[in-house]
Structure 1
Amino acid sequence: MKIRGIVAVLLFSGVIFSSAQQIEQPPKLVVGMVVDQMRWDQLYRFEKHFGEGGFNRLLKEGYNFNNVMINYIPTVTALGHTSVYTGSVPSIHGIAGNDWTDRRTGQNVYCTTDASVKGVGSSSEKIGAHSPHNLWSTTITDQLRMASNFRSKVVGVSLKDRAAILPAGHNPTAAFWFDEGTGHFVTSSYYMNELPEWVRKFNSKDIGSQLVRNGWNTLKDIREYKESTEDNMPWENTIGSAKEPVFPYSNLAKDYNEKKGVIRSTPFGNTLTLRMAEASLEGYQLGRGEETDFLVVNIASTDYVGHTFGPNSIEVQDTYLRLDKDLEIFLNALDQKVGKGNYLFFLTSDHGAAHSVAYMKQNKMSSDFFDKDLLSGLEKELETLLGQKDLIYTIDNYQVYFNESSIMKNGLSLEQVSKATTDYLNRDPRVLYAVDLSKVGSAPIPEPIKSRIINGYNWQRSGHIQIISHDAMLPSYSLKGTTHSVWNSYDAHIPLIFMGKGISQGQSSKPYYMTDIAPTLAQLLKIENPSGNIGEPIVELLD
């Protein structure tokens, strides 16, 4: 009996050891999918309409985190993608907004524009001249490349330049984004001198034209879209040549022929992106070598459709239902080409979105427009109090940028101008807090707002004064549709699901942050954290 017991223990230990060895083998491929402007609640709001192979497959096979927050402001695209992949915040990684104002000159700076490089596949400097040169920290994709002595392949794909470039890191294999002038995916000379043959073949198929040729109608009977407001609400914008925001959008093929960018604001932009991502699997043979590869995918049309119509529109719901089917096709392609169980997949979002102002008001919720006349009123106040003009460059990313050279030239101090500015703003009924960013540590502002201000404050690129508006206060350019940028849950609460190699099924309501994604990946891949990482590994996933 004792011998049998010893043998059983040894056999059982061998099973555990063998299982542990298998789990410790790194995945052949990591796929990071960031769904632009996906609010956490949309995962459940549309759940009953989803099929079994897309979002519901992730929920049933993966580990789902229901309480993940963005831990900085402003909550915008470039910051979201960068923070997911660096495990860091704007204060450290340097990406202070989609764009920001140069504190010395007052000129606008776009996050990835780089005049030292040229477009490849595009003749447009605006579209092609981009690189990650403004990014200060390494990404998890950089760390993977270095850990494998650059044998691992990393590819970024998005309709948006910034969403392909920043997550892919400083030295990826490639990054591709959409040229709305041609309908092609392009890159820049930062990465290569000419498009690979497989990209040229993909572009030559003109898949965008094929996707929009029948227009855009609802996937299901429109009467089933009970989670959304009625079609044609007064707070919705239109797309292309449509006179009203009403299904079907029959002129889409003609509109696309005249301006390729219209596909961005339809669900077919997501389909096109995933087709390009799937082509990348073949083009670079991702997941077929000895080292772990990484495919960065951004689903951007959810953001464009959300901005245009607002999160409660039938257009947004239909976009998610169609994305669910596209996601199923893409996951099946990963199963076939890389092998089910050979890849690690995660899905998250870069930010959420607010409800449209008119929608809120119609439903007796507090909401209004935030910035109308705010800058002109502030400029007038400073001129009256301090006797000088041109003390402010702009208000950008909810931050006031001072003209420091003008302030010094007129014998004033930053402290004088700052106090006058915050005093004026804090009297505005739309403002919850206005704070001098150099003194935010001692400001009487509650958590988590204070920490999110600090994390988002980059002293070289951010403004001088941070404005926190009251809830549901949108910038006036969002008269129709919606936008995002603030600390509130509708912008900061994001989905996060891991599925695949080494991941058990489960879910959690424990609090985590966007910045915890990169160090969790580092643990799963057994590589070093990104250089600016402040996040913590999600231990319950690893255990």
Structure 2
Amino acid sequence: MKNKVLATILFSLLVVPLVQSADNSPRLVVGITVDQLRTDYLEALQHLFGEKGFKRLMREGVVCENLVFDFPNIDKASATATLYTGTTPFFHGIPSERFFNTAFLREEFILNDPSKIGNYTDETFSPERIRTSTLSDEVKIVSGGLGRVYAVAPDAQQSIISAGHAANCAFWINDRNGKWATTTYYRDVPAYVEQFNYVRSLSARIDTLSWTPVYTPDRYTAIPYLTNDFSFKRTFARDGRDKFVQFKTTALVNQEITDVAVEFLDKGLLGRRGVLDMLNVGYTAGVYLNKTIQDYGLELQDTYVRLDRDIARLLDEIDKKVGLANTVVFLTSTGYFKGEAKESPIYNIPSGEFYPRRAVSLLNVYLMALYGQGDWVIGYQNRQIFLNRKLIKERDIDADEMRNRAASFLIQMTGVQDVYTSQRLLLSNGTDRVAAMRNGYYPKLSGDLVLDLCPGWEVVYEDANDTREYVRVNAVPAPCFILAHDVKPVRITSPVRATAIAPTVSRLLRIRSPNGSADAPLLEIQY
């Protein structure tokens, strides 16, 4: 795989030349991340797309069919951080959306920062846990702080990570009140965005919105599963407890995002002030209610059709306000898809259920038999097990020896394919799989033991909602598009590393890459 990716980069350097004159520097860069976007669905739905959205990107830009993230268990936060920093979680410090806080023995959002407060939200977030510079930071730095950098997305962490440390502001939709929220970490809160919370507040009109398909069901033929041959209508009750959470899983949320993005272009004068500005936009292409394509395949296909229209509208506004000839646009997937359902037992596919709470309990009993009474295991999060390092130190026990014994015990459990200790990940070069696990590991926040579970199994969390996580390790075909003046259109079918996107965009902008980015750019620029 490494050789194949390297070959792709070398090939791209040869076939994608860029010729720019010294006085033709870009005025604006627009970064678009689409959560769970898939190349195969884009291709299958082209007959329903217009000419100015995805087709425009395919026709006029660099198209990478298979963006590769070199670590497992990708999610929205870790993927966005990788795209904007040009490095992996081992360096940028965002291994997942949540982490296990060993001080309070609880899960928290990775960007949780109690020292900050929120505007229109009681959430407390900041980008402090991002440990390297981001592409957005470098845009801000190159202008001496004069460039404007904004971000907007449905989700707080997606918005803040794309905004970076130095941005003017980042906005997202609050799950509880539907308001456009931000954090006091950022100091520039434009009044024209705040007006959205008064003039056209989502909370005031949520019950008037409905989602119905653009086309008749017989035209949605992209997903090879049996789907209903009747239409749908999704509405949101004013008194619904999770109405805004549900709304954010629909195609309608992308329209709300586009409205705010266009407002930044219009009233924020981005790209029209003589310095380089940046706009970061987060969309979603996930399944309705975070369920499965087997249940909501029609809704997912309509999401793609509506997303195509939102992207077309955004590109048109960029062209009107700034000019696409003066803009660098990159659109990337987050490289994963969580909408696949577990196979029915009637097909006899090997499967099972893994219960983290039970595994933790059994491991603790085993360690007490070896080392005496105590809470030796303090938590489980994201397929990682956390040992009680404070107690281990107090009892003067060899921590590496305990981890190795714990790993030997866990690997005997059904559903566990392999167990990686922190020592094994940090000190061993190992196989490609070990290297990938290490890339996704961040020593200061990750656990003592990392589980590699068997494909086809389900992780059952035994919470109030009986939350289940389906283990499926096959690669998702994730696209990336780069649109820039004088960049010749080309289609790259071989894998391209996600860590190559930030240095590539940096080269197009004539700025330095983020400080953790080590990959070569995909494009060779001739001045």
Give the alignment's TM-score, normalised by structure 2.
Answer: 0.86
Residues 485 and 50 (structure 1 numbering): CA distance in 2 closer, same or farther, change over 3 Å? farther
1:438-459 Cα offsets, whole Å, 9 max, x none, are 1236669631x22211112221
Larger deviation, residues 432-441 vs 136-145: 432-441
2:9 alignment partner in structure 1: none
Alignment of 1:363-382 (within 5 A): 365-371=349-355, 373-382=358-367
Query: Once the 2 structures are TM-superposed, how far is the Cα of residue 486 of structure 1 from its aligned partner?
Result: 7.5
Aligned residues: 504
Q: Distance in 1 between matches of 2:289 and 2:493?
A: 26
- Which of 129, 132, 137 does residue 134 from structure 1 map onto? 129
Alpha-carbon separation, structure 2, partners of 1:173 and 1:485: 39
Aligned partner of 1:396 in structure 2 is 381
Is residue 441–residue 450 contact of structure 1 (8 Å, CA) maintained in 2? Answer: no
CA spacing shift, 1:133–1:371, aligned 2, 3 Å:
same
Check if 1:383 corresponds to 2:368. yes
Q: Which residue of 2 aligns with 1:198?
A: 192
Q: CA deviation at 1:48?
A: 2.8
Aligned residues of 2:264 and 2:270 also touching (Cα < 8 A): yes
Q: Which moved more, 1:166-175 or 1:438-447?
A: 438-447
Q: Which residue of 2 aligns with 1:76?
A: 75
RMSD of aligned residue pairs (Cα, Å) = 3.1
Residues 27, 250 of structure 1: alpha-carbon distance in 2 compared, 3 angstrom cutoff:
same
CA drift of 1:88 comes to 1.4
* Structure 1 pair 360–482 and aligned structure 2 pair: CA distance change class (3 A): farther
Partner in structure 1 of residue 158 of structure 2: 163
Partner of 1:239: none
Question: 1:88-107 maps to which residues of 2 (within 5 A)?
Answer: 88-103=87-102, 106-107=105-106
Superposition map of 1:200-349 within 5 A: 200-206=194-200, 208=202, 213-228=208-223, 229-231=225-227, 248-252=232-236, 254=238, 259-300=243-284, 302-303=285-286, 305=288, 307-310=290-293, 313-349=297-333
- Relative to 1, partners in 2 of residues 1:542 and 1:134: Cα closer, same or farther, differing over 3 Å? farther
**Counterparts of 1:472 and 1:306, CA distance in 2:** 22
Asked if structure 2 preserves the Cα contact closer than 8 Å seen for 1:73 and 1:486, the reply is no
Among residues 506, 511, 536, which one is paired with 2:495 in the alignment? 511
Structure 1: distance between partners of 2:42 and 2:99: 32
* Aligned counterpart, 1:57: 56
Residues 486 and 284 of structure 1: is their aligned pair in 2 closer, same or farther, counting only changes over 3 Å?
farther
Work out the CA distance in 1 between the residues paired with 2:20 and 2:448: 53
Q: Is the 8 A contact 1:308 1:481 kept in 2?
A: no
- For residues 210-249 of structure 1, the C-alpha deviation after alignment (integer angstroms, 9 at most, x for no partner) is 576352222211122233334579xxxxxxxxxxxx9533
TM-score by length of 1: 0.84
Once the two structures are overlaid, the 10-residue window that deviates more, 101-110 or 46-55, is 101-110
The whole-number CA distance in structure 2 between the counterparts of 1:220 and 1:477 is 38
* Ranges in structure 1 where 5+ consecutive residues have no aligned partner: 1-18, 234-245
Q: Which residue of 1 aligns with 2:8?
A: none
Q: Measure, in 2, the Cα distance between the counterparts of 1:542 and 1:256.
A: 57
CA contact (8 A) 2:206 2:236 kept: no
Q: Which amino acid aligns with 2:190?
A: P
Cα distance in 2 for partners of 1:362, 1:333 equals 51
1:87 maps to what in 2? 86
Secondary structure of 1:434 counterpart: strand
Alpha-carbon contact 1:216-1:252 (below 8 Å) kept: no
Q: 1:480, 1:362 → 2: CA distance?
A: 22
* Contact map agreement 2:460 2:466 (CA 8 A) in 1: no
State which drifts further: 377-386 or 75-84: 377-386
Taking the aligned partners of 2:146 and 2:29, their CA distance within structure 1 comes to 15
Flag the structure with higher helix content: 1
Corresponding residue of 2:175: 180
The structure that has the greater radius of gyration is: 1
- Secondary structure of the residue aligned to 1:475 is strand
User: Gapped runs of 5+ residues in structure 2?
Assistant: 1-17
Identify if the C-alpha distance between structure 1 residues 272 and 476 changes in structure 2 by more than 3 Å, giving closer, same or farther.
same
Q: Percent identity among equivalent residues? A: 25
- The aligned amino acid for 2:406 is T
Q: Distance in 2 between matches of 1:360 and 1:504?
A: 47
Task: State whether residues 357 and 367 of structure 1, in contact with CA within 8 Å, keep that contact through their aligned partners in structure 2.
Answer: no
* 1:517 Cα offset (Å): 0.7
For 1:53 and 1:189, locate their aligned partners in 2 and report how far apart those are by CA, in whole Å. 37
- Give the Cα–Cα distance (whole angstroms) in 2 for the partners of residues 183 and 338 of structure 1: 31
**Which secondary structure state, in structure 2, belongs to the residue aligned with residue 341 of structure 1?**
helix
The answer to whether residue 421 in structure 2 is matched with residue 426 in structure 1 is no
Contact 1:62 1:506 in 2 (8 A): yes
Matched letter for residue 438 of structure 1: Q
Choose the corresponding residue for 2:425, options 429, 440, 444: 440
TM alignment of 1:466-485, pairs within 5 A = 466-476=450-460
Secondary structure of 2:36's partner? coil
8 A Cα contact 1:177 1:185, kept in partner: yes
Structure 2 distance, partners of 1:50, 1:477, is: 40
> Does the 8 A contact of 2:19 with 2:487 survive in 1?
no
Q: Does 1:143 align with 2:128?
A: no
Structure 2 Cα separation of the partners of residues 325 and 482 of structure 1? 33
Q: Is the 1:211–1:268 Cα contact (8 Å) retained in structure 2?
A: no
Q: Secondary structure at the match of 2:182?
A: strand
Letter in 2 for 1:297: V
Which residue of 1 is the match for residue 445 of structure 2?
461
- Deviation, 1:471, is 2.4
Distance 2:407 2:514 in 1: 36
Counterpart of 2:442, as a letter, is N
Query: CA 1:313–1:468 in structure 2 vs 1: closer, same or farther (change >3 Å)?
Result: same
Counterpart residue identity of residue 170, structure 2: A
Matched, 1:452 2:436: yes
Map of 1:35 onto structure 2: 34
Letter in 2 for 1:403: N
CA distance in 2, matches of 1:450, 1:204: 51
Give yes or no for contact 1:157–1:177 (8 Å, CA) kept in 2: yes
